[in-house]
Chains A and B, each alone.
Chain A
Amino acid sequence: MTDFTHDPAALADPPPRPAGRRQRTSAMRWLVLPGQIISLVVLVLPLLVALYMSFTDWSPTRGSLWDARFAGLFNYEELLVYDTRFVEAVIRTLFLAVTCLSLEFALGLGLAVLFLREFKGKSVLFSAFLTPMMILPVVVGYTFWMLFQSNGPVNQILGLFLGPEAMPEWFRSAPLAMIAVIVTEVWHWTPLFFLILLSGLNAVPENPVRAAMILGASPRQIFFRVVLPMLKPVIIVAFVIRAMEIAKLFDEVFMLTRGGPGSSTETVSLYIYKLAFNDFQLAYGAAAAFLVLVGTLAIINLMLLPVRDQLLKGQG
C-alpha cells in the first residue's frame, strides 16, 4: 500500500535548498514508516506465505509447510476444472453481487430522491434510515435468522396477507434461503447507497439543471440525462465498495445459513473458510483465495477505470 513516488516540491518553500529537500523526504519516510512496517508484516508477508502455500500440497497434518511438496498449478487446476462446488460458489457470489447491488442501488436512489423533497423531521429520519449500516454484520445475520424462523414475524406477516400456506421454512429450501440472504444484505447495505447518492444529489450544481429546464427537458429527462450522469463517479465508488464487500461476504451468511441447505447459499468466502478451517485443506484454500483476489481485482479495476483520474484529483 505504499505505491508513491517522492515529490520534493510537494511542500514547496522557496528557494529549494538541498538540505530542505532531504529533510522533507526524510520527514515523509519517518511518517509513513510505521504504516509500511505493519502492512508489510501483517498483510504482505502472510499474503506471500499464502501464495507460496497455494503451490504446494501442504496440510497441517503432514508436518511443516517448508517441507511440503511443490505441486505447481495443481491446486488451481483442480479448482477451476474439477471443483464444481468452487465454481458454483463463484457464480453464486457474482449472482449475489449483481442482485444485491442492483436492488441496493435502486432502493437507495429512490430513498435519496424522496429526501430531496421538503418534509418535517428530515434530519431525524435521515439518521433512522442510516441505522442498518451501523450494525455489525454478525448481529444483522443473527437478527434476520430470527426474523425468518418458521414461527418468526416474517412468516407471521406473510400468513396474515397470503394465508397459512405462505409460511415456509426459509432455511430448508435453496431458493428461499437465497432470498433470505439477499433480503438481509439489501437491508443491511441499502443505507450506504442512500447516503452516498444523497450526498451526491445534494452536491449537484443547480445551473446545469436549470439550463436543461430552459432547454425544454422534462423533470424525468433532467433526472436521467443530466443529474444521474453527474453522479457517475459516486455511483461507481458505491458499487466498487459494495462489490468488494460482497466478494468477502461471510459474517451474515455464516449466521444465517452456514451456506445451507447443502451448499446452496455458500459464498466463496464461506467455502474458503470451510476448506481451511473445517477440512484443513490449507494449500487448496489459499489457491482458491488467490483466484478470488485476482478476479476481484480485475473486476474492480474495470469498474474504476472511468473515474480513476477524477478520484485521484479529489484525493490528491
Chain B
Amino acid sequence: MTPKLALKSVSKRYPGADVAAVEGLDLEVGAGETLALLGPSGCGKSTTLNMIVGLEHPSGGRIEIDGRDVTNIPAGKRNVGLVFQDYAVFTSMTVRQNLAFGLSVRRVARAEIARAVGEVAELLGMSDRLEARAGDLGGSQMQRVAIGRTLVTRPAILLLDEPLSNLESAARLAMRRELRRLQKEIGLTIVYVTHDQIEALSLADRIAVMQAGRLRQVEAATRILSRPAHTFVASFLGEPPMTLLAGRLSGGVFETGGLCLPVRSDLPDGRLTLGLRPQGLVPCGAADSALAGTVLHVEPRGPEAVLTVNCGGRKVKAVVPPGAAPAPGQVIGLAVPPGAVTAFDGDTNLRLHGSRITLGVPA
C-alpha cells in the first residue's frame, strides 16, 4: 500500500547558513495514521512542515502524497490542510465565510459549498456560530474554525502546527479529545508538529523525533520511551529523561568521569554511552551496588518522587514511590536491573541492539 505521505531524503539549506535546516529526511506516514513530529525549537520540524504544505521548496529530495510527486506543485494544489499555531483565521470574516473560503476560491458551486460548510460545522459543533465574526471568537473556537476551514477542502493530510500550545489547560484536554474523535470519525491522516512530548505521546500513533535537522527516530508512541534509538531521543523524552553516562568500556569496567562500574555484557571494549531509565532504578543499600552516592535532593511529584543522586560526580536520577524516598544527604545504592539500562555507541550515539547488560553488581 502506498503511504499517504512520503518524504524521500528531503533536505533544506538556506542560502548563507552553514548548517542545513533539514538533512536527508526519510519519513512515511500511512493512511489514517497520526504522526507527531517532535523536537526542540530550531530542530527543523517547522521547516519540514512548510515543505510538506508547499510554503517552502526543498533543496533536495522528493515529497510524495498518495504516491504522486508534489515536490514542484505549489502550496494551494497539494490537497493538504495546515492549521497554524496562532490559528490564522480570517478575523474580518464570519465563521461561515471562513469555512467556505477554500471552496469559494476554487469557484465551487454555491449549493455545494453550503452543503460542505454545513457538514463540517456539524462535525465541529459550530452550527450555531456560523454568523459570528471569527475575530470575536475565543481561542478554542478559533481553532475549530481553523480546522474546519481545512476539512472543508477534504485534504489528503491534515497538518497541525503546535495545535494545543496556545490553549488553556482545560481547553487543551477538550481539544485533544476532539482531535482524536475527528481522526477516528473521518479517518484523517494527521501530522502534528510539536515540541511538547506529552502532546505527542497522547495524540500520536507514531512519533518522529528530530534534532538539528535530522530525523533521530520514528517509533510507536507506546514504545518510544523504553526503546530510544539515539542518545538525543533518550535525553529528550521521558520525565525525567534518562541519565546518560558517556565513558569507556575496557575489560568489564565502564569508566565515566570519576565513576567506575563493573559491567557484564557482550559489548566490545571502546567508547560507550549508557542510558539509565529513572523509572527502572531501585534504591538499595550503599554496599549492594557499585552505583552509589549521596542523595542530593528529593523532588516529590504526587504519586512518585524524583531522586537526584551524586554517584562519583555524576548526577543520576531515579523515580521512587514517595513513601520509599530516602532523605537528602543519605548515602544509598541504586540497583540496575537489566531492563533499566540502554547502551549507545560512544561515537555514533546510536543504540546498540541485542546486548544484555548487567551493571553495577559488585564483582
A touching B, CB within 8 angstroms: yes
Measured CB to CB, the residues of A under 8 A from B are 205, 207-208, 210-218, 221, 225-226, 229-230, 232
A205 contact set on B, CB distance < 8 A:
86, 88
B102 contact set on A, CB distance < 8 A:
215-216
Contact, CB under 8 Å: A216 / B88? no
Contact, CB under 8 Å: B75 / A213? yes
Question: From residue B70, how far is it (CB to closest CB) to chain A in Å?
Answer: 13
Contact, CB under 8 Å: A211 / B82? yes
* Closest chain A residue to B55, Cβ basis: A210
B77 contact set on A, CB distance < 8 A:
216
Chain B interfacial residues counted at CB < 8 A: 25
Residue from the list A214, A218, A226 in contact with B80, Cβ < 8 A: A214
A217 contact set on B, CB distance < 8 A:
76, 101, 105
Residue from the list A210, A213, A226 in contact with B90, Cβ < 8 A: A226
B101 contact set on A, CB distance < 8 A:
212, 215, 217, 225
Contact, CB under 8 Å: A216 / B92? no
A-B CB contact pairs (8 Å), 10 listed: A207-B86, A211-B82, A211-B90, A213-B76, A214-B55, A215-B81, A215-B105, A215-B153, A217-B76, A225-B105
- Is there a chain A Cβ closer than 8 Å to B53's Cβ? yes
- Is there a chain A Cβ closer than 8 Å to B89's Cβ? yes
B150 contact set on A, CB distance < 8 A:
214-215
In angstroms, Cα B55 to Cα A31, docked, is 53
- Is there a chain A Cβ closer than 8 Å to B353's Cβ? no
B146 contact set on A, CB distance < 8 A:
211
A215 contact set on B, CB distance < 8 A:
76, 81, 101-102, 105, 149-150, 153
Q: Which of A205, A211, A212 is packed against the most chain B CB atoms within 10 Å?
A: A211
Contact, CB under 8 Å: B75 / A221? no
Question: From residue B105, how far is it (CB to closest CB) to chain A in Å?
Answer: 4
Contact, CB under 8 Å: B91 / A214? no
- Is there a chain A Cβ closer than 8 Å to B346's Cβ? no
Interface of A is mostly: helix
Contact, CB under 8 Å: A230 / B92? yes
- Is there a chain A Cβ closer than 8 Å to B223's Cβ? no
Contacting A at CB under 8 A, from B78-119, are 80-82, 84, 86, 88-93, 101-102, 105-106
With known contacts A215-B149, A215-B153, A216-B76, A208–B105 Cβ distance under 8 A: no
- Is there a chain A Cβ closer than 8 Å to B54's Cβ? yes
Contact, CB under 8 Å: A208 / B53? no
With known contacts A205-B88, A207-B88, A208-B88, A214–B93 Cβ distance under 8 A: no
Residue from the list B81, B82, B92 in contact with A232, Cβ < 8 A: B92
In angstroms, Cα B76 to Cα A210, docked, is 10
A208 contact set on B, CB distance < 8 A:
88-91
A210 contact set on B, CB distance < 8 A:
55, 75, 82, 84, 88
A207 contact set on B, CB distance < 8 A:
84, 86, 88
* Closest chain A residue to B93, Cβ basis: A229
A218 contact set on B, CB distance < 8 A:
76, 105
In angstroms, Cα B328 to Cα A53, docked, is 91
A229 contact set on B, CB distance < 8 A:
90, 92-93
In angstroms, Cα B172 to Cα A9, docked, is 34
In angstroms, Cα B276 to Cα A109, docked, is 63
Contact, CB under 8 Å: A214 / B76? yes
Question: From residue A211, how far is it (CB to closest CB) to chain B in Å?
Answer: 4
A230 contact set on B, CB distance < 8 A:
91-92
B88 contact set on A, CB distance < 8 A:
205, 207-208, 210-211
Contacting A at CB under 8 A, from B130-147, are 146
In angstroms, Cα B75 to Cα A215, docked, is 8
Question: From residue B316, how far is it (CB to closest CB) to chain A in Å?
Answer: 44
Contact, CB under 8 Å: B91 / A221? no
Contact, CB under 8 Å: B93 / A221? no
In angstroms, Cα B89 to Cα A207, docked, is 9
In angstroms, Cα B53 to Cα A214, docked, is 7
In angstroms, Cα B150 to Cα A207, docked, is 14
Beyond A205-B88, A217-B105, A230-B92, 6 additional pairs, beta carbon < 8 A: A210-B84, A213-B55, A216-B76, A216-B102, A217-B76, A218-B76
B54 contact set on A, CB distance < 8 A:
214
Q: List the 3 closest A-B pairs by CB distance, nearest first.
A: A207-B88, A216-B76, A215-B102
Question: From residue A277, how far is it (CB to closest CB) to chain B in Å?
Answer: 47
B149 contact set on A, CB distance < 8 A:
211, 215
In angstroms, Cα B76 to Cα A214, docked, is 4
* Closest chain A residue to B89, Cβ basis: A208
In angstroms, Cα B81 to Cα A225, docked, is 19
In angstroms, Cα B90 to Cα A207, docked, is 10
Question: From residue A310, how far is it (CB to closest CB) to chain B in Å?
Answer: 10
Question: From residue A232, how far is it (CB to closest CB) to chain B in Å?
Answer: 6
* Closest chain B residue to A222, Cβ basis: B105
Question: From residue B89, how far is it (CB to closest CB) to chain A in Å?
Answer: 7
